Amino acid sequence: MSTNAFPYKRVFVAGHNGMVGAAVCRLLASSPNVETLTRSRNELDLTDEYAAAAFFREEKPDAVIFAAAKVGGIVANNSYPVEFLSDNAKMAIASIQAAYESKVKRFLFLGSTCIYPRMAPQPIQEDSLLTSALELTNEAYALAKIVGLKLCQYYRQQYGAMFHSAMPTNLYGPGDNYHPDHSHVLPALLRRFHEAKTSDLPSVTIWGTGTPRREFLHVDDLAKAIVHLMRIDNPPDWVNVGTSIDVSILELAQMVAKTVGYEGRILTDPTKPDGTPRKLTDTTLLKGTGWRPTIELEDGLKTTYGDFLARQSAGVLRAV
Protein backbone atom coordinates (compact mmCIF):
# COMPACT_ATOMS: atom_id res chain seq x y z
CA MET A 1 0.00 0.00 0.00
CA SER A 2 1.34 3.43 -0.88
CA THR A 3 1.41 6.02 1.89
CA ASN A 4 1.77 8.95 -0.53
CA ALA A 5 -1.71 10.18 0.17
CA PHE A 6 -1.38 9.97 3.95
CA PRO A 7 -3.56 12.90 4.95
CA TYR A 8 -1.60 14.16 8.01
CA LYS A 9 1.70 16.03 7.99
CA ARG A 10 3.07 16.15 11.52
CA VAL A 11 2.58 12.67 12.98
CA PHE A 12 3.63 11.85 16.55
CA VAL A 13 4.52 8.15 16.80
CA ALA A 14 4.48 7.49 20.54
CA GLY A 15 6.73 4.51 21.40
CA HIS A 16 8.78 4.74 18.18
CA ASN A 17 11.61 2.62 19.62
CA GLY A 18 9.25 -0.31 20.23
CA MET A 19 8.44 -3.06 17.75
CA VAL A 20 5.15 -1.48 16.63
CA GLY A 21 6.27 2.15 16.69
CA ALA A 22 9.39 1.32 14.67
CA ALA A 23 7.31 -0.51 12.03
CA VAL A 24 4.99 2.50 11.73
CA CYS A 25 8.01 4.84 11.34
CA ARG A 26 9.49 2.58 8.62
CA LEU A 27 6.22 2.73 6.70
CA LEU A 28 5.69 6.48 7.13
CA ALA A 29 9.25 7.11 5.98
CA SER A 30 8.10 6.20 2.45
CA SER A 31 5.58 9.03 2.50
CA PRO A 32 7.30 12.28 1.43
CA ASN A 33 4.70 14.57 2.98
CA VAL A 34 4.88 13.14 6.48
CA GLU A 35 7.07 14.61 9.18
CA THR A 36 7.35 12.05 11.96
CA LEU A 37 7.72 13.34 15.51
CA THR A 38 9.35 10.99 18.02
CA ARG A 39 10.44 11.07 21.64
CA SER A 40 12.02 8.29 23.68
CA ARG A 41 10.70 7.65 27.19
CA ASN A 42 13.81 9.41 28.59
CA GLU A 43 12.99 12.52 26.60
CA LEU A 44 9.25 12.48 27.29
CA ASP A 45 7.67 10.32 30.00
CA LEU A 46 4.06 10.11 28.85
CA THR A 47 2.86 9.11 32.33
CA ASP A 48 3.68 12.72 33.31
CA GLU A 49 0.56 14.65 32.30
CA TYR A 50 2.29 18.06 32.50
CA ALA A 51 5.15 16.93 30.27
CA ALA A 52 2.68 15.37 27.80
CA ALA A 53 0.57 18.55 27.70
CA ALA A 54 3.65 20.75 27.15
CA PHE A 55 4.89 18.50 24.34
CA PHE A 56 1.55 18.59 22.50
CA ARG A 57 1.25 22.40 22.98
CA GLU A 58 4.73 23.02 21.61
CA GLU A 59 4.86 20.48 18.78
CA LYS A 60 1.22 20.61 17.65
CA PRO A 61 1.05 17.25 15.88
CA ASP A 62 -1.74 16.79 13.33
CA ALA A 63 -2.09 13.11 14.13
CA VAL A 64 -0.94 10.62 16.78
CA ILE A 65 -0.22 6.91 16.53
CA PHE A 66 -0.11 5.74 20.12
CA ALA A 67 2.19 2.71 20.34
CA ALA A 68 3.72 3.56 23.73
CA ALA A 69 3.00 1.11 26.54
CA LYS A 70 4.53 -0.63 29.49
CA VAL A 71 4.54 -4.15 28.03
CA GLY A 72 5.53 -7.47 29.61
CA GLY A 73 4.86 -11.19 29.84
CA ILE A 74 2.81 -13.13 32.39
CA VAL A 75 5.48 -13.00 35.11
CA ALA A 76 5.90 -9.22 34.88
CA ASN A 77 2.13 -8.65 34.65
CA ASN A 78 1.53 -10.84 37.70
CA SER A 79 4.32 -9.27 39.75
CA TYR A 80 3.61 -5.60 38.97
CA PRO A 81 -0.15 -5.17 38.39
CA VAL A 82 -0.03 -1.71 40.02
CA GLU A 83 2.46 -0.38 37.45
CA PHE A 84 0.80 -2.18 34.53
CA LEU A 85 -2.54 -0.57 35.34
CA SER A 86 -1.41 2.85 36.55
CA ASP A 87 1.42 3.58 34.07
CA ASN A 88 -0.60 2.44 31.06
CA ALA A 89 -3.78 4.23 32.13
CA LYS A 90 -1.84 7.40 33.01
CA MET A 91 -0.01 7.58 29.67
CA ALA A 92 -3.20 6.90 27.72
CA ILE A 93 -5.27 9.50 29.58
CA ALA A 94 -2.52 12.14 29.56
CA SER A 95 -1.87 11.74 25.82
CA ILE A 96 -5.51 11.55 24.73
CA GLN A 97 -6.42 14.63 26.79
CA ALA A 98 -3.40 16.62 25.62
CA ALA A 99 -4.11 15.62 22.01
CA TYR A 100 -7.68 16.86 22.27
CA GLU A 101 -6.64 20.14 23.89
CA SER A 102 -4.02 20.81 21.22
CA LYS A 103 -6.56 20.05 18.45
CA VAL A 104 -4.99 16.88 17.10
CA LYS A 105 -7.07 15.89 14.06
CA ARG A 106 -6.65 12.14 14.41
CA PHE A 107 -5.57 9.83 17.23
CA LEU A 108 -5.11 6.09 16.80
CA PHE A 109 -4.76 4.21 20.09
CA LEU A 110 -3.21 0.75 20.16
CA GLY A 111 -4.46 -1.93 22.50
CA SER A 112 -4.38 -5.67 22.12
CA THR A 113 -6.80 -8.59 22.00
CA CYS A 114 -6.14 -9.22 25.71
CA ILE A 115 -8.90 -6.62 26.31
CA TYR A 116 -11.48 -9.28 25.49
CA PRO A 117 -13.04 -11.61 28.08
CA ARG A 118 -11.22 -14.82 28.97
CA MET A 119 -14.18 -16.90 27.78
CA ALA A 120 -15.08 -14.80 24.72
CA PRO A 121 -16.55 -16.96 21.94
CA GLN A 122 -13.99 -17.82 19.23
CA PRO A 123 -13.20 -16.21 16.83
CA ILE A 124 -13.33 -13.09 19.02
CA GLN A 125 -15.53 -10.29 17.76
CA GLU A 126 -15.22 -6.64 18.77
CA ASP A 127 -18.61 -6.63 20.50
CA SER A 128 -17.51 -9.22 23.06
CA LEU A 129 -15.73 -6.38 24.93
CA LEU A 130 -16.92 -6.12 28.55
CA THR A 131 -19.35 -9.03 28.29
CA SER A 132 -17.59 -11.11 31.02
CA ALA A 133 -14.46 -11.40 33.18
CA LEU A 134 -10.94 -10.78 31.84
CA GLU A 135 -8.04 -13.20 31.89
CA LEU A 136 -6.59 -12.72 35.39
CA THR A 137 -2.92 -12.94 34.37
CA ASN A 138 -3.14 -9.71 32.33
CA GLU A 139 -6.16 -8.05 33.89
CA ALA A 140 -4.30 -4.91 34.99
CA TYR A 141 -2.86 -4.29 31.51
CA ALA A 142 -6.18 -5.04 29.81
CA LEU A 143 -8.07 -2.65 32.11
CA ALA A 144 -5.67 0.18 31.23
CA LYS A 145 -6.08 -0.57 27.53
CA ILE A 146 -9.88 -0.57 27.91
CA VAL A 147 -9.62 2.85 29.58
CA GLY A 148 -7.66 4.13 26.56
CA LEU A 149 -10.03 2.78 23.93
CA LYS A 150 -13.13 3.93 25.83
CA LEU A 151 -11.67 7.41 26.37
CA CYS A 152 -11.08 7.69 22.61
CA GLN A 153 -14.65 6.53 22.00
CA TYR A 154 -16.02 9.06 24.53
CA TYR A 155 -14.01 11.99 23.05
CA ARG A 156 -15.41 11.08 19.64
CA GLN A 157 -18.96 10.72 20.96
CA GLN A 158 -18.96 13.79 23.23
CA TYR A 159 -16.72 16.24 21.31
CA GLY A 160 -16.61 14.87 17.77
CA ALA A 161 -12.85 14.18 17.94
CA MET A 162 -11.63 11.60 15.42
CA PHE A 163 -10.05 9.35 18.05
CA HIS A 164 -10.23 5.58 17.54
CA SER A 165 -8.40 2.33 18.33
CA ALA A 166 -6.91 -0.85 16.88
CA MET A 167 -6.58 -4.19 18.72
CA PRO A 168 -3.84 -6.35 17.18
CA THR A 169 -3.44 -10.06 17.76
CA ASN A 170 0.00 -11.59 18.63
CA LEU A 171 2.69 -9.75 16.68
CA TYR A 172 6.15 -10.69 15.49
CA GLY A 173 8.80 -9.13 13.27
CA PRO A 174 11.89 -6.91 13.36
CA GLY A 175 12.84 -5.53 16.77
CA ASP A 176 11.02 -8.19 18.80
CA ASN A 177 12.08 -9.04 22.35
CA TYR A 178 14.19 -12.22 22.61
CA HIS A 179 14.54 -12.42 26.39
CA PRO A 180 14.94 -16.12 27.35
CA ASP A 181 12.14 -15.91 29.98
CA HIS A 182 10.08 -12.81 29.21
CA SER A 183 9.56 -13.02 25.45
CA HIS A 184 6.41 -14.11 23.59
CA VAL A 185 6.12 -17.63 22.18
CA LEU A 186 7.28 -16.92 18.61
CA PRO A 187 10.50 -15.02 19.39
CA ALA A 188 11.17 -17.47 22.26
CA LEU A 189 10.99 -20.43 19.84
CA LEU A 190 13.10 -18.63 17.26
CA ARG A 191 15.84 -18.06 19.79
CA ARG A 192 15.66 -21.59 21.25
CA PHE A 193 15.82 -23.33 17.86
CA HIS A 194 18.64 -21.05 16.74
CA GLU A 195 20.61 -21.88 19.89
CA ALA A 196 19.82 -25.60 19.54
CA LYS A 197 21.19 -25.49 16.00
CA THR A 198 24.36 -23.62 16.92
CA SER A 199 24.95 -25.93 19.94
CA ASP A 200 24.10 -29.07 17.93
CA LEU A 201 21.42 -30.19 20.41
CA PRO A 202 19.66 -33.46 19.45
CA SER A 203 16.18 -32.22 20.51
CA VAL A 204 14.15 -29.23 21.59
CA THR A 205 11.26 -29.66 24.03
CA ILE A 206 8.36 -27.25 23.73
CA TRP A 207 6.15 -26.35 26.67
CA GLY A 208 2.79 -28.24 26.88
CA THR A 209 1.18 -30.55 24.34
CA GLY A 210 1.78 -28.29 21.34
CA THR A 211 -1.94 -28.43 20.48
CA PRO A 212 -3.10 -24.89 21.50
CA ARG A 213 -3.77 -22.78 18.43
CA ARG A 214 -2.58 -19.18 18.11
CA GLU A 215 -2.64 -16.44 15.49
CA PHE A 216 0.38 -14.34 14.44
CA LEU A 217 0.51 -11.08 12.50
CA HIS A 218 3.67 -9.56 11.06
CA VAL A 219 4.21 -6.10 12.55
CA ASP A 220 4.64 -4.57 9.06
CA ASP A 221 1.10 -5.75 8.23
CA LEU A 222 -0.10 -4.05 11.42
CA ALA A 223 1.63 -0.81 10.36
CA LYS A 224 -0.21 -0.95 7.03
CA ALA A 225 -3.51 -1.57 8.84
CA ILE A 226 -2.86 1.49 11.04
CA VAL A 227 -2.16 3.73 8.05
CA HIS A 228 -5.22 2.30 6.28
CA LEU A 229 -7.46 2.97 9.31
CA MET A 230 -6.20 6.54 9.59
CA ARG A 231 -7.29 7.25 6.02
CA ILE A 232 -10.85 6.04 6.55
CA ASP A 233 -13.50 8.73 7.07
CA ASN A 234 -15.61 6.81 9.57
CA PRO A 235 -13.46 4.09 11.19
CA PRO A 236 -14.85 1.72 13.84
CA ASP A 237 -14.27 2.91 17.43
CA TRP A 238 -12.08 -0.15 17.88
CA VAL A 239 -11.25 -2.90 15.46
CA ASN A 240 -9.39 -6.20 15.54
CA VAL A 241 -6.24 -6.52 13.46
CA GLY A 242 -5.13 -10.04 12.67
CA THR A 243 -4.96 -12.71 10.01
CA SER A 244 -7.85 -14.86 11.32
CA ILE A 245 -5.56 -17.82 10.57
CA ASP A 246 -4.19 -19.87 13.44
CA VAL A 247 -1.54 -22.57 13.77
CA SER A 248 -0.88 -25.05 16.56
CA ILE A 249 2.17 -24.37 18.72
CA LEU A 250 3.69 -27.62 17.40
CA GLU A 251 3.15 -26.48 13.80
CA LEU A 252 4.71 -23.14 14.69
CA ALA A 253 7.72 -24.92 16.24
CA GLN A 254 8.12 -27.00 13.06
CA MET A 255 8.01 -23.86 10.90
CA VAL A 256 10.55 -22.10 13.11
CA ALA A 257 12.85 -25.16 13.08
CA LYS A 258 12.69 -25.21 9.26
CA THR A 259 13.35 -21.45 9.10
CA VAL A 260 16.51 -21.62 11.24
CA GLY A 261 17.65 -24.91 9.67
CA TYR A 262 17.37 -27.03 12.83
CA GLU A 263 17.14 -30.75 12.01
CA GLY A 264 16.89 -32.33 15.48
CA ARG A 265 13.73 -33.68 17.12
CA ILE A 266 10.90 -31.59 18.48
CA LEU A 267 9.44 -32.97 21.71
CA THR A 268 6.42 -31.83 23.72
CA ASP A 269 6.06 -31.71 27.50
CA PRO A 270 2.41 -32.45 28.39
CA THR A 271 3.17 -32.00 32.13
CA LYS A 272 3.29 -28.22 31.50
CA PRO A 273 0.04 -26.23 31.24
CA ASP A 274 -1.29 -25.42 27.77
CA GLY A 275 -3.33 -22.27 28.41
CA THR A 276 -6.41 -21.45 26.32
CA PRO A 277 -6.92 -24.09 23.59
CA ARG A 278 -7.60 -21.49 20.90
CA LYS A 279 -7.31 -17.74 20.57
CA LEU A 280 -8.33 -16.29 17.24
CA THR A 281 -9.63 -12.87 16.22
CA ASP A 282 -12.55 -12.26 13.93
CA THR A 283 -11.32 -9.67 11.42
CA THR A 284 -14.51 -9.35 9.39
CA LEU A 285 -14.96 -5.72 10.44
CA LEU A 286 -11.49 -4.63 9.29
CA LYS A 287 -11.62 -6.69 6.10
CA GLY A 288 -14.94 -5.00 5.31
CA THR A 289 -13.00 -1.71 5.08
CA GLY A 290 -10.72 -3.16 2.39
CA TRP A 291 -7.62 -4.19 4.40
CA ARG A 292 -5.93 -7.60 4.02
CA PRO A 293 -2.71 -8.94 5.60
CA THR A 294 -0.03 -9.58 2.98
CA ILE A 295 2.78 -11.41 4.78
CA GLU A 296 2.47 -15.21 5.04
CA LEU A 297 3.79 -16.63 8.32
CA GLU A 298 6.46 -18.70 6.53
CA ASP A 299 7.83 -15.62 4.71
CA GLY A 300 7.55 -13.42 7.80
CA LEU A 301 9.54 -15.97 9.82
CA LYS A 302 12.36 -15.91 7.27
CA THR A 303 12.78 -12.13 7.34
CA THR A 304 12.36 -12.03 11.12
CA TYR A 305 15.13 -14.62 11.51
CA GLY A 306 17.31 -12.49 9.20
CA ASP A 307 16.67 -9.51 11.47
CA PHE A 308 17.46 -11.64 14.56
CA LEU A 309 20.82 -12.71 13.08
CA ALA A 310 21.71 -9.17 11.98
CA ARG A 311 20.93 -7.72 15.40
CA GLN A 312 22.71 -10.53 17.20
CA SER A 313 25.90 -10.06 15.22
CA ALA A 314 25.70 -6.29 15.73
CA GLY A 315 25.26 -6.90 19.51
CA VAL A 316 21.91 -5.07 19.60
CA LEU A 317 19.49 -8.00 20.02
CA ARG A 318 16.68 -6.89 22.30
CA ALA A 319 16.34 -9.11 25.41
CA VAL A 320 14.72 -7.11 28.19
Q: Minimum distance from CB of 170 to ligand NAP (Å)?
A: 5
Q: Are 117 and 105 in contact, with CB atoms under 8 Å apart?
A: no
CA 16 to chain centre: 12
Which residue from 26, 45, 213, 254 is in contact with ligand NAP, where contact means CB under 6 A?
45
Farthest-apart Cα atoms in the chain, separation: 62
Provide the 8-state DSSP code for 133.
Answer: P
Q: Residue 293 and residue 289: Cα distance in Å, rounded? A: 13
**3-state class of 13 per DSSP?**
strand
Binding to ligand NAP by residue 134, rule CB under 6 A?
Answer: no
- Determine the interface stretch with ligand NAP among 62-70, 121-129, 150-158, 307-315 (rule: CB under 6 A): 62-70
- Helical (H) or strand (E) element with 168: strand 163-168
- At 313, the amino acid letter reads S
If binding means CB under 6 A, how many residues of this protein chain bind ligand NAP? 24
Q: Which is nearer to ligand NAP, 196 or 225 (CB)?
A: 225
116 catalytic residue (yes or no): no
Binding to ligand NAP by residue 46, rule CB under 6 A?
Answer: yes
- Binding to ligand NAP by CB under 6 A, coded x per residue (else -) over 77-106, reads ----------x---x---------------
Q: Which is nearer to ligand NAP, 18 or 123 (CB)?
A: 18
Query: 130 vs 146, 147, 166, 286, CA distance in Å?
Result: 9, 12, 16, 20
Q: Which is nearer to ligand NAP, 3 or 183 (CB)?
A: 183
Which residue from 8, 21, 104, 123 is in contact with ligand NAP, where contact means CB under 6 A?
21
141, 155, 178, 262: the active-site residue: 141
Q: Minimum distance from CB of 93 to ligand NAP (Å)?
A: 12
Q: Residue 143 and residue 162: Cα distance in Å, rounded? A: 22
Q: For residues 189-228, which are near ligand NAP according to CB under 6 A? A: none
> What are the residues facing 265 on neighbouring strands?
203
Which residue from 40, 131, 198, 294 is in contact with ligand NAP, where contact means CB under 6 A?
40
Q: Which of 171, 164, 146 is nearest to 229 (CA)?
A: 164
φ, ψ for residue 37 (rounded to 5)?
Answer: -100, 135
Q: Which residue is nearest to ligand NAP (CB)?
A: 18
- Binding to ligand NAP by CB under 6 A, coded x per residue (else -) over 158-177, reads ----------x-xx------
Put residue 209 in one of left, alpha, beta given phi > 0 → left and psi -120 to 50 → alpha: alpha
Q: Which is nearer to ligand NAP, 41 or 197 (CB)?
A: 41
Q: Are 27 and 34 in contact, with CB atoms under 8 Å apart?
A: no
List active site positions.
141
Which residues form the interface with ligand NAP (CB under 6 A)?
15, 17-21, 40-41, 45-47, 67-71, 87, 91, 110, 112, 168, 170-171, 184
